[in-house]
């Protein structure tokens, strides 16, 4: 596989990148016309661009690398590299002295295939030079993992210390475990599931319908509206629907109750006056400034189709990594029944070390995996810490 690094500043050559990216972002170009990425759909991609970031220092034996898989709307920037860097989406987890301690571990995180923060996706140019948009091929979670593994090969990294991910990132880690168990000593699956529930499928369906019904969607060919006009209203509504699944009823009640947003205009039957509505609108506004609607369609669809145990796994006594599952009692997206199914199916594979930590202290819901939850963070630190020599 021929690989090459792009220019030092990917903003200069990468279409569609949002403005707020860390200066530490790197870009690798993987695969060629002669050796393309063959997707599960049967279609192929050559010259796949992958945006990634690295933290910490590889050990002399290259055995201290942790790969961090991001969730649906994440990117390659889980944490600040220094005080002058932009905030990361997982600063509570990654960094000096954090559970994924960058003074101990070398960390790699990459924007997923189909993403909109530097990795090849719907924003990438097609043969005409314009973004592929709806012509970008259907992708799956296994396709995403294939690209992650190609990136690690490009970087010369062999067996990982750990693969860690939450939500969609946890699905990636689970897929990686079942199909390539020898790649890491441990796999950490956080707030995730072997498949979406019907409730989860329904939430995604509503979000995608909102995007498609936006008058600016133009069948996905809104190329002149990249991070501009485009289907902003529909994408914002999709974010609002999804955000409700990320929070628990208890956290919504505690944060907002029935409080009225002082000075909120307009009000009346068509416009609510409640603080929770203004909060969701605010979240939607922030989201549409950094995310792409076609990317949202592709990635939610990949999540919908994921069914981890529907295909044979390749676990064997020769590759029996430790597996650590983390869940949250307040998570209504992936509740206790879902976690129970995941644990039962993992155990049925014959894995000899499967642990489960269930947090009961946070009322934050699914989003708790991103937050400062002391017991959860301490336990994750414990399962990642290398044994004393």
Catalytic residue positions, numbered: 167, 331, 366
CA separation (Å) from 165 to 332, 348, 349?
18, 22, 20
- For the chain, the C-alpha Rg in angstroms (whole number) is 21
Q: Is 15 helix (H, G, I), strand (E, B) or coil?
A: coil
Dist. CA 32–CA 120, nearest whole Å = 14
378 burial type by CB count under 10 A (0-12 exposed, 13-18 middle, 19+ buried)? exposed
Query: Given its phi and psi angles, is residue 133 left (phi above 0), alpha (psi -120 to 50 degrees) or beta?
Result: left
Contact 251, 364 (CB under 8 A): yes
Cα separations (Å) of 369 from 89, 246, 357? 11, 10, 12
Contacts of 239 (CB under 8 A, 6+ apart): 207, 283, 284, 287, 288, 291
List Cβ neighbours of 365 (8 Å cut-off, separation of 6 or more).
Answer: 246, 247, 248, 250, 251, 328, 330, 331, 332, 333
Q: How far apart are CA 289 and CA 11, in angstroms?
A: 17
Burial 275-292 (b: 16+ CB within 10 A, else e): bbeebbbebbeebbeebb
């Amino acid at each position: 596989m021929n690989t090459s690094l792009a220019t030092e500043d990917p903003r200069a050559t990468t279409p569609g990148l949002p403005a707020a990216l860390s200066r530490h972002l790197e870009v690798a170009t993987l695969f060629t016309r002669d050796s393309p990425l063959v997707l599960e759909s049967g279609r192929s991609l050559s010259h796949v661009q992958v945006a990634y970031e690295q933290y910490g220092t590889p050990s002399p034996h290259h055995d201290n690398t942790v790969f961090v898989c991001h969730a649906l709307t994440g990117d390659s920037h889980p944490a600040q590299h220094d005080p002058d860097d932009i905030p990361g989406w997982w600063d509570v987890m990654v960094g000096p002295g954090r559970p994924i301690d960058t003074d101990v571990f070398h960390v790699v995180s990459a924007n997923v295939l189909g993403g909109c923060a530097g990795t090849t996706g719907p924003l990438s140019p097609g043969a005409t030079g314009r973004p592929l948009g709806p012509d970008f091929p259907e992708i799956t979670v296994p396709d995403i993992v294939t690209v992650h593994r190609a990136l690690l090969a490009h970087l010369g990294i062999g067996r990982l210390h750990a693969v860690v991910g939450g939500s969609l990132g946890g699905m990636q880690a689970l897929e990686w475990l079942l199909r390539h168990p020898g790649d890491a000593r441990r796999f950490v699956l956080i707030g995730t599931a072997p498949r979406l529930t019907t409730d989860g499928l329904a939430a995604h369906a509503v979000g995608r319908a909102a995007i498609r019904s936006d008058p600016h969607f133009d069948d996905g060919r809104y190329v002149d509206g990249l991070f501009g006009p485009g289907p902003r209203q529909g994408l914002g509504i999709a974010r609002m629907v999804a955000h409700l699944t990320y929070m628990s009823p208890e956290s919504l009640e505690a944060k907002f109750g029935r409080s009225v947003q002082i000075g909120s205009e307009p009000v009346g039957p068509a416009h609510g006056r409640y603080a929770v509505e203004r909060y969701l609108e605010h979240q939607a506004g922030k989201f549409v400034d950094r995310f792409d609607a076609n990317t949202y369609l592709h990635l939610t669809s990949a999540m919908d189709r994921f069914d981890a145990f529907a295909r044979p796994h390749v676990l064997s006594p020769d590759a029996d990594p430790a597996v650590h599952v983390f869940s949250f009692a307040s998570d209504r997206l992936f509740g206790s029944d879902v976690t129970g199914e995941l644990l039962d199916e993992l155990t049925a594979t014959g894995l000899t070390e499967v642990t489960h930590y269930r947090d009961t202290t946070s009322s934050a819901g699914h989003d708790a995996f991103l937050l400062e939850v002391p017991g959860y963070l301490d336990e994750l630190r414990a399962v990642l810490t290398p044994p004393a020599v």
